[in-house]
């Protein structure tokens, strides 16, 4: 095996909002990708609209910079555990990783999740403690916490000898020690060249490449992205692609591209260890091997953790269906979901008994919400159910996914947070109070207990609390618990919301609609104060009389309605309720719209329960 010293492949891993994308911008500026006088976009790696809105990395992306004549391929990985499939395939292209940690928040659950994957892949780590200019920065304590984390994750002696750098990412400064007066990123570039090994390959082996990502071009069609393991490839080469079943498909390389900065440029050949993009084959999936026809060799496929959450995607069957979206057919929805599963290995799509509904499985509710939000922006109309965790049966015992939840909040809110999580079968495993007025709590909570809890947590902590979680494994089922203590206010007829009716409904609970909004029978228009559902008439108008008196016609002022977000809608609905998603609106509704049929079903259920009890 020899090494290609002209290359380095490094992944950047970090928790959400620890400054990863800003650091990549600084690397671009230092290496000359961002030139003087040219208009440059901040957070260039957040190329998706949703990524810019939410300030997170959703999809793993590649870019490249050149430093001292050596090309450095940078793989940007998501910092959220729900996008773990992106992390696993991104790390398959890397020879080392930069671990970026906030100097105040320290290692959080997603840091632990991504770092565990990097250590399992035996990647050397460069630690960068970022944002050391924060007033509440505690870099030395964070470094001690990271050593404990490495040991806890079973790091080898070699992996524990990681170099430590300190950074102020937004100023483009990386230092080898605290207090050093460094004004550029040279320390990080030097560490990459010194500590990240060059990709190795066997010069006698034929061309091999593992497909780690997929892209699409209107001109070139499907694009396969991956790292060249052995050999070289040239434009117009005739190769084959070996799929999961071992079948080979002919491939002619119509275009060969490599990364320069955040852009793709055409290349004549692909050298060993480089990350390349190949066009010329439509039926290619992540994990396939591209190799020569004369000497086909299959590489180990990318394997990802199993999904833990499932949701039901179906056509929009409400009376308002088809008014706001362009794509409403079940076949189109299914094709779009299949396309998502091809580019995202953590998503699985299955057909259900109902030909107009499909079961989608993924890593978490946030991943599902991003998929739904993306589809509605593309013009889809659909309905989705509440996320449900996927149970397992091991040795005839029911097992459920359990999360490790980290909570950072004021001491004042410790009681209410502990009480609410205990109701959801959570157990506190650690409590740290450093005397600053804020405490850090660690809980072991069933995944189903966290669905819908985030909004409640922010209300309980008055918006000052921070919670993060990651999957810790499967444990025996912890029993039933209530996830919602309130009922739904349901419209009993079709029409338009009227201010007079809504004003009189306000004492019953919190409303979701405003005057003038269309409603229909079975649509949920609010949250009831009590635990039962009630049917109401939100279209009722005030009776007019010919009597006039001072003060009789008072001005109606309604309480402002909090806009319904997709995550809030998914958290709110129960098993018999679904979310109607269109490009312009989010509506909540009962799965069975007819009030009469709902009463009949409730009566049958009650009879069954009484019979079982006897």
pLDDT (tens digit per residue) in 243-273: 888 888 888 888 888 888 767 888 888 888 8
Strands (E), 255-335: 255-260, 263-266, 269-270, 275-279, 289-292, 309-314
Between 75-84, 104-113, 553-562, the lowest mean confidence (pLDDT) is in: 75-84
Label the pairing between strands 164-168 and 466-476.
Answer: unpaired
What does the pLDDT read at residue 81?
55
Distances (CA, A) of 468 to 80, 128, 443, 458, 474: 9, 21, 11, 12, 18
pLDDT reading at 155 higher than 90 = no
Higher pLDDT, residue 30 or 318: 318
If 0-12 CB within 10 Å is exposed, 13-18 middle and 19+ buried, where does residue 583 land?
A: middle
Q: Residue 551: what pLDDT?
A: 54
Report how far residue 200's alpha carbon sits from residue 2's, in angstroms, rounded to the nearest whole number. Answer: 5
Assess whether pLDDT exceeds 60 at residue 421: yes
What is the pLDDT averaged over residues 342-365?
84
Sign of CA pseudo-dihedral 139, 141, 142, 144: positive
Q: Which of 246-255, 524-533, 597-606 has the highest mean pLDDT?
A: 524-533
**Closest by Cα among 321, 319, 334, 322 to 375:** 334
Residues 6+ apart with CB under 8 A from 239: 207, 233, 250, 251, 252, 253, 290, 291, 292, 293
pLDDT at 541 over 80: yes
Which residues face 276 on adjacent strands?
Answer: 226, 258
Q: What is the pTM of this model?
A: 0.75
What percent of the chain has pLDDT above 70? Answer: 89
Residue 315 has pLDDT above 80, yes or no: yes
pLDDT at residue 48 tops 80: no
In the chain, the percentage of residues whose pLDDT exceeds 90 is 21
Split at pLDDT 50, 70, 90, the class of 482 is: confident
Instruction: Determine the pLDDT at residue 40.
Output: 45
Q: Which of 66-75, 106-115, 487-496, 517-526 bottoms out in mean pLDDT, i.e. has the lowest?
A: 106-115
Q: Could you tell me which residues come within 8 angstroms of residue 184 by beta carbon, excluding any fewer than 6 positions away? A: 30, 172, 173, 174
pLDDT value of residue 554: 62
Q: Is the pLDDT of residue 347 over 70?
A: yes
Q: Whole-number mean pLDDT of the chain?
A: 83
- Is the pLDDT at 78 greater than 80, yes or no? no
What's the confidence (pLDDT) of residue 50?
A: 56
Lowest mean pLDDT, pick from 5-19, 70-84, 438-452: 70-84
| Predicted pLDDT at 37 | 40
Query: Bigger pLDDT: 110 or 246?
Result: 246
CA distance 194 to 126: 10
**Alpha-carbon gap, residue 387 to 448, rounded angstroms:** 9
The owner of tokens 């088809």 is 322
pLDDT of residue 43: 43
- Residue 139: pLDDT over 50: yes
pLDDT value of residue 36:
44
> Per-residue pLDDT for 553 more than 70?
no
pLDDT band at 512 (very low <50, low <70, confident <90, very high): very high
Rounded to whole angstroms, how far apart are CA atoms 355 and 587? 23
Any idea which of 56-65, 282-291, 327-336, 570-579 has the lowest mean pLDDT? 56-65
pLDDT at 612 over 60: no
Compute the distance between CA of residue 208 and CA of residue 260 in angstroms, rounded to an integer. Answer: 22
Sign of CA dihedral 391, 394, 397, 400: negative
Q: What per-residue confidence (pLDDT) applies to 367?
A: 81
pLDDT for 16 equals 64
Residue with tokens 């049929």: 597
Q: Taking residues 514-537, what's their average pLDDT?
A: 92
Assess whether pLDDT exceeds 90 at residue 611: no
Determine the Cα–Cα distance for residues 147 and 237; give it in Å rounded to an integer.
48
Using DSSP's 3-state secondary structure scheme, residue 267 falls into coil
Q: Is the pLDDT of residue 5 over 90?
A: no
pLDDT at 82 over 80: no
Cβ partners under 8 Å of residue 507, min gap 6: none
Round to whole Å and give the CA distance between 516 and 561: 13
Q: Tell me what pLDDT residue 39 has.
A: 39
* 522-533 mean pLDDT: 92
Mean pLDDT over 87-107 rounds to 84
Please give the radius of gyration of the chain, using alpha carbons only, rounded to the nearest integer: 27
Residues 35 and 29: their CA atoms lie apart, in Å, by: 7
Average pLDDT (537-562) is 75
Quick one: pLDDT at residue 80?
56
More confident position, 429 or 556:
429
Q: How confident is the model at residue 552 (pLDDT cuts 50, 70, 90)?
A: low
Q: Look-up: residue for tokens 């040219």?
A: 38
Give dist(CA 121, CA 505) in Å, integer. 58
In the predicted model, what is the mean pLDDT of residues 134-148? 88
Q: Is the pLDDT of residue 200 over 50?
A: yes
Cα 542 to Cα 499: distance, rounded to the nearest angstrom:
9
3-state DSSP assignment of residue 81 = helix
Region 229-246 average pLDDT: 84
Does residue 51 or residue 484 have the better pLDDT? 484
Report which of 524, 455, 450, 509 is spatially closest to residue 481, judged by C-alpha positions. 450
């Amino acid at each position: 095996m020899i090494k290609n010293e002209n290359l380095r492949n490094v992944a950047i891993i970090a928790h959400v909002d620890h400054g990863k994308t800003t650091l990549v911008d600084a690397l671009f500026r230092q290496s000359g990708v961002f030139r003087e006088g040219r208009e440059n976009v901040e957070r260039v790696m957040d190329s998706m609209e949703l990524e810019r809105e939410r300030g997170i990395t959703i999809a793993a992306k590649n870019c490249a910079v050149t430093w001292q004549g050596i090309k450095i391929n940078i793989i940007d990985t998501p910092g959220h555990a729900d996008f773990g499939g992106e992390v696993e395939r991104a790390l398959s292209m890397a020879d080392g990783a930069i671990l970026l940690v906030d100097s105040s928040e320290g290692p959080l659950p997603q840091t632990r999740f991504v770092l565990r994957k990097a250590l399992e892949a035996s990647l050397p780590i460069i630690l960068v403690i970022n944002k050391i200019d924060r007033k509440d920065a505690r870099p030395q304590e964070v470094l001690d916490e990271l050593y404990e984390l490495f040991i806890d994750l079973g790091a080898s002696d070699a992996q524990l000898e990681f170099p430590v750098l300190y950074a102020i990412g937004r100023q483009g400064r990386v230092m080898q020690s605290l207090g050093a007066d460094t004004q550029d990123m040279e320390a990080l570039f030097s560490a990459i060249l010194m500590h990240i090994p060059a990709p190795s390959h066997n010069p006698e082996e034929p061309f091999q490449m593992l497909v780690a990502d997929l892209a699409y071009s209107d001109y070139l069609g499907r694009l396969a992205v991956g790292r060249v393991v052995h050999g070289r490839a040239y434009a117009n080469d005739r190769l084959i692609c070996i799929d999961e079943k071992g079948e080979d498909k002919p491939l002619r390389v119509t275009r060969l591209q490599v990364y320069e900065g955040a852009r793709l440029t055409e290349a004549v050949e692909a050298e060993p260890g480089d990350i390349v993009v190949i066009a010329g084959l439509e039926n290619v999936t992540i994990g396939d091997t591209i190799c020569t026809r004369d000497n086909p060799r299959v590489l180990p496929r990318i394997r990802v953790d199993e999904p833990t959450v499932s949701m039901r995607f179906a056509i929009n069957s409400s009376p308002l269906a088809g008014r706001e979206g362009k794509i409403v057919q079940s076949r189109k929805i299914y094709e779009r979901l299949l396309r998502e599963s091809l580019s995202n290995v953590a998503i699985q799509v299955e057909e259900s008994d109902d030909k107009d509904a499909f079961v989608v499985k993924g890593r978490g509710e946030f991943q599902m919400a991003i998929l739904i939000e993306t589809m509605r922006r593309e013009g889809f109309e659909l309905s989705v159910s509440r996320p449900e965790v996927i149970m397992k049966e091991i040795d005839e015992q029911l097992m459920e996914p359990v999360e490790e939840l980290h909570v950072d909040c004021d001491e004042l809110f410790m009681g209410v947070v502990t009480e609410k999580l205990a109701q959801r079968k959570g157990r506190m495993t650690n409590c740290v109070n450093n005397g600053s007025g804020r405490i850090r709590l660690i809980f072991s909570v069933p995944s189903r207990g966290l669905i819908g809890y985030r909004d409640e947590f922010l209300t309980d902590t008055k918006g000052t609390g921070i919670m993060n979680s990651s999957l810790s494994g499967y444990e025996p089922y912890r029993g039933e618990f209530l996830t919602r203590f309130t009922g739904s206010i349901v419209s009993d007829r079709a029409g338009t919301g009227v201010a007079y009716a809504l004003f009189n409904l306000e004492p019953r609970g919190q409303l979701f609609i405003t005057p003038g909004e269309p409603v229909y029978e079975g649509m949920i228009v609010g949250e009831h104060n009590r635990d039962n559902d009630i049917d109401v008439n939100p279209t009722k108008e005030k009776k007019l009389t010919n009597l006039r008196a001072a003060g009789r016609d008072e001005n109606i002022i309604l309480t402002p309605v909090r806009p319904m977000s997709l995550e809030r809608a998914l958290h709110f609905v129960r098993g018999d309720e679904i979310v109607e998603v269109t490009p312009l609106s989010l509506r909540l509704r009962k799965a069975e719209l007819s009030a009469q049929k709902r009463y009949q079903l409730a009566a049958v259920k009650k009879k069954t329960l009484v019979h079982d009890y006897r």
